[in-house]
Amino acid sequence: MDFIIEFFKYWNYVGLGKMIRIFWYFIFFEFGRYVVLEFWVLFVYWLGRKRRAKEWEAARQALYNEMPLISLIAPGKNEGKNIFKLVKSLNEQTYQNVEVIIVDDGSDDETPIIGRNLEKNGLIDIFIRNDMRGGKASAANLAWRYSRGKFLLHLDADCSFDRTAVENIIIPFYLDPEIGGVGGNVKVRNGDVSLCARLQSIEYLKSISVGRIVTSYLGIYRIISGAFGAFRMDALKKIGVWDIGPGLDGDITVKLRKSGYKIHFEPTAICLTAVPTKFSKLWKQRLRWSRSLVRFRLRKHLDVFLPHRNWRWGTFLGFVENVFYNFVLDIKWYIYIADMIINFSSWIWFLIPMNLALYMIAGFMQQLSLSLWSERSEDERVLWWYVPLMVFYVAFFLRFCRTLAYIKEFFWKASYRDPWNPQKSSYQALKNGY
């Protein structure tokens, strides 16, 4: 009790000026970017809803007038147990002029039997198996090679889709002919399995469902999720489809941007995915994802920062935002913590609770915006209880994971040794600078 009284006395004594000095990092970078900017963009976005609804209906009409063939591709390894669920979900779609192509990248489970059975029974159009694993990119490229649709949807086999997902992810192509790729709204299906999954549910809602509305609106949307992304077939051909991963979904988005195509995020095209339910598995997944920032943003596509024929502000700012918030501020955070410890060491027991409180307030504000936008807000109400834990999840778990990944990739190029890709491909990618 005494501590609480002392705590409030202290902050009353410190005043607003000094509080800004202490929490400048939070106020300018975190609160400014993730609360103020997002609320403002979402408000503007909300204001334009009637106009968008009209345009959407016209585009939908155009889609159904043309009724193009859409190729749905699902490359993967050992996904046998998920394929039937995926196919069932695709068969329920409102848009039915589709072909389903599944590529089995050297599975050693029952995937070939299941895939061939589905093909034979006409539930999927093509099932291709590579006896030797070539990696996700080559599997996706193989599916693309045999696709005949005007648009191609890249899906993860462990995903399932809302009934209107395929229709809704294609409609944006009819809103703007310059759009080359559309990202779908990926949400967590198994959020109720563990604490780890619950926290990811909130994270996905923040960073994808709402975060990408904002980045897409600002023209800096930089990653079409591999779990659910749509592409114009001619655009894919032009950019030379997928290169070796990991992080190939972000890579192909940059390639599209660099080739002059617009990228769009469609929040109504909803896909549910299964996330890791244990922190140990999540750690490995995030190490892989985070390494791609160094590999692709700071190495392969460094030319985005330099003037060239297809240079665009959107692409440039998207990169700057990505590198700044994920890389520069990540390093800065450690400096900030050191600054706190050195300069405010005697008051550190007042600073830490305040810091946590501020992040929690920001977290609840974000959660409020998620509730306003989500079509499943009733189901997601339970997530409110976990918002306080997000502070620790984001500030410590994800940050430490990111830092480790950056260091390993920056100094030792760890992504080229990742077993996610076969060694033969990684070796060639390293040798040839991919």
Partner 1 sequence: MLAINKINKQALIEYEDFLFMYVEEEEAFDSEKIFYVDAIIINSSSTRLFEKVLKVTRTHYDAEIYLKPIFCVQYEGLPLQVIERCDGLTDVTQYQKIARTTREIKNNVQKLFLQQKFPSNEFGVLYKTMQYLYTRNHDLVPFVNRHARLSYTYPFVSLQLEDEEQKKILDILKKGIQDGFLREEQMLDKIHICDACYSAHHNIRETCLHCNGIDLKVQDLIHHFQCAYIGPETDFMQEYTDDLICPKCQKILRHIGVDYDKPSHIFNCNTCSEHFQNPVFTYNCVDCGKISDIRHLQEHLIKRISLTAKGKQLVLSGLPRKTYESDSKAKEVTGVYELDVFKNILEQEKARTAFNPGRTFFGKVAVVDEKLNGISWKEKMILRDELARELKSYLKEYDMVTAVSAGEFYFLKLECTPEKLEELGELIVFNLEALVRSNVKDSQVVVSVNTQPVLHNQTVVM
Write out the residues near partner 1 by the rule CB under 8 A.
106, 116, 119-120, 126-135, 137-139, 141-142, 145-146, 240-244, 424-425, 427-429, 431-432, 434
Residues 260 and 245: their CA atoms lie apart, in Å, by 22
CB-nearer residue toward partner 1: 119 or 321: 119
Alpha helix (H) ranges present in 301-386?
313-323, 329-343, 348-373
CB-nearer residue toward partner 1: 134 or 180: 134
Give the count of beta carbons closer than 10 Å to the beta carbon of residue 132: 8
Closest CB 426 distance from partner 1, rounded Å: 9
CB-nearer residue toward partner 1: 307 or 433: 433
Closest CB 129 distance from partner 1, rounded Å: 6
CB-nearer residue toward partner 1: 138 or 209: 138
Phi, psi of 171, rounded to the nearest 5 degrees: -55, -40
Residues 194 and 131: their CA atoms lie apart, in Å, by 35
Residues 365 and 191: their CA atoms lie apart, in Å, by 21
Closest CB 304 distance from partner 1, rounded Å: 20
Is 227 in contact with 159 (CB distance < 8 Å)?
A: yes
Closest CB 114 distance from partner 1, rounded Å: 13
The separation between the first and the last C-alpha atoms of the chain, rounded to the nearest angstrom, is: 59
Query: How are strands ordered across the β-sheet holding 262-273?
Result: 126-130, 98-105, 70-76, 151-155, 228-232, 179-188, 262-273, 159-161
CB-nearer residue toward partner 1: 87 or 142: 142
Residues 159 and 185: their CA atoms lie apart, in Å, by 12
Q: Report how far Cα 171 is from the mean position of its chain's Cα atoms.
A: 20
Closest CB 254 distance from partner 1, rounded Å: 16
Closest CB 414 distance from partner 1, rounded Å: 19
CB-nearer residue toward partner 1: 127 or 173: 127
CB-nearer residue toward partner 1: 139 or 166: 139
Closest CB 266 distance from partner 1, rounded Å: 27
Cα 217–182–232 angle (5° rounding)? 135
Residues 210 and 196: their CA atoms lie apart, in Å, by 20
Closest CB 337 distance from partner 1, rounded Å: 41
Closest CB 124 distance from partner 1, rounded Å: 11
Phi, psi of 27, rounded to the nearest 5 degrees: -65, -50
Closest CB 240 distance from partner 1, rounded Å: 5
Contacts of 163 (CB under 8 A, 6+ apart): 92, 93, 94
Closest CB 238 distance from partner 1, rounded Å: 11
Q: Distances in Å between the alpha carbon of 168 and those of 93, 176, 212, 371, 416?
A: 10, 14, 16, 21, 36
Residues 296 and 294: their CA atoms lie apart, in Å, by 6
CB-nearer residue toward partner 1: 135 or 318: 135
Specify which residues 340 forms β-bridges with: none
Report the phi/psi class of residue 223: left, alpha or beta, with left for phi > 0 and alpha for psi in -120 to 50.
beta
Cα 100–157–434 angle (5° rounding)? 95
- Residue 377, helix vs strand vs coil: coil
